[in-house]
Amino acid sequence: MQANTNVKINDYASPVKPTWCAGCGDFAIWTAIKMALVELNIPPTEVVLCFDIGCNSNMADKINAYVFKGLHGRVIPVAAGIKLANQGLPVIAVGGDGGTFDEGMQHFVHAFRSNYDITLILHNNCDFGLTTGQATPTTPTGQKMNSSPFGVAEDRLNPTQLALTLNPSFVAKGFTGDLKQLVGLLKAAIEHKGFSYLEVLQHCPTYNQFMDQAWYKDRVYKVEENDTYDNTNLKLAYERAGDQLEKIATGILYQNKEKLNFYQRINHIKDQPDLVSNVEKKDISELLLEFK
């Protein structure tokens, strides 16, 4: 990646206007991603953003950069593959609580095992927004939703605690009501050399009025404001992440800078040039004749 000191927020401006509902937390995450990339001096031509399906992933054409939009819940393997081919690029995967923790769960688990050098920004609004307000694994137990009019019967997943049981190298939590903190967390996540998981507590005013912006504001606190918090202490991070309802910890909850990432562990390629450098121009016109 080449140093570029002239990156501006307008470099990331897309002519496509957002269609999110008024007050949606997606606006804050969208803004924070652009601000973090600008503050890191990364131009749009030197980053890849990967999306799947959902309100969050409708961001794909609202950012002027290289983007890939794939299947619901499958954003992690796409991002990991892009990084494998071109390790000089920062690669950011953007997913939601529905896709990632339903059909995408195996990818989530294996991303920590593999420690792919990518960032996952997880929009957690505790519902499926795009499909009109169904429950996801992070919807609180007992909550009435469009898919569960008598209340969610299952236990609520705690994705942060789950992440902390998977020998992670970076686990953080932000909140769409605190843009400054969110930008800082994004920068740290992008700069981390390994799988960086950033969960963002996000308000969905249309389908989640039980945890609105004021609800979160009354409950979130920053671990970095307590001098005694040690974000290399996995057990402490797990304890703090346990509370999702009363006192909700935000900030870099855990970081291990020593864990080797996936690409450093593959001995037969680690000293080789990136796969992207092997790409050659080929004339396929004869091959195409077969399909005439």
Site for ligand SF4, rule CB under 6 A:
20-21, 24, 26, 55, 125, 129, 204-207
Q: How far apart are CA 83 and CA 281, in angstroms?
A: 21
Q: Which listed option, ligand SF4, Mg ion, none, makes contact with residue 20 (CB within 5 to 8 Å by class)?
A: ligand SF4
Which residue lies nearer to ligand SF4 by CB, 29 or 67?
29
Which residue lies nearer to ligand SF4 by CB, 176 or 255?
176
User: Least distance from C-beta 133 to ligand SF4, angstroms?
Assistant: 7
Q: Check residue 96 for interaction with Mg ion (CB under 5 A).
A: yes
Q: How many CB atoms lie within 10 A of CB 7?
A: 18
Give the residue, chosen from 58, 114, 125, 244, that forms a contact with Mg ion under the rule CB under 5 A: 125
Give the count of alpha carbons within 13 A of 44, CB side only. Answer: 16
- Which residues lie closer than 8 Å to 222 by C-beta, 6 or more apart? 181, 250, 251
- Which residues lie closer than 8 Å to 262 by C-beta, 6 or more apart? 80, 84, 114, 115, 116, 117
Phi and psi dihedrals of 258, rounded to 5? -90, -20
Q: Check residue 97 for interaction with Mg ion (CB under 5 A).
A: yes
Q: Check residue 104 for interaction with Mg ion (CB under 5 A).
A: no
User: Least distance from C-beta 126 to ligand SF4, angstroms?
Assistant: 10
Q: How far apart are CA 241 and CA 138, in angstroms?
A: 14
Q: How far apart are CA 173 and CA 186, in angstroms?
A: 10
Which residue lies nearer to Mg ion by CB, 81 or 140?
140
Q: How far apart are CA 226 and CA 65, in angstroms?
A: 37
Q: Which listed option, Mg ion, ligand SF4, none, makes contact with residue 108 (CB within 5 to 8 Å by class)?
A: none
Count of residues near Mg ion by CB under 5 A = 4
- Which residues lie closer than 8 Å to 143 by C-beta, 6 or more apart? 126, 135, 151, 152, 210
Q: Which listed option, ligand SF4, Mg ion, none, makes contact with residue 179 (CB within 5 to 8 Å by class)?
A: none
Which residue lies nearer to ligand SF4 by CB, 171 or 204?
204
The pair of structure tokens assigned to 183 is 């930008």
Which residue lies nearer to ligand SF4 by CB, 34 or 62?
62
Q: Which listed option, Mg ion, ligand SF4, none, makes contact with residue 55 (CB within 5 to 8 Å by class)?
A: ligand SF4
The pair of structure tokens assigned to 194 is 């390994």
Which residue lies nearer to ligand SF4 by CB, 20 or 254?
20
Residues forming contacts to Mg ion in the complex (CB under 5 A) are 96-98, 125
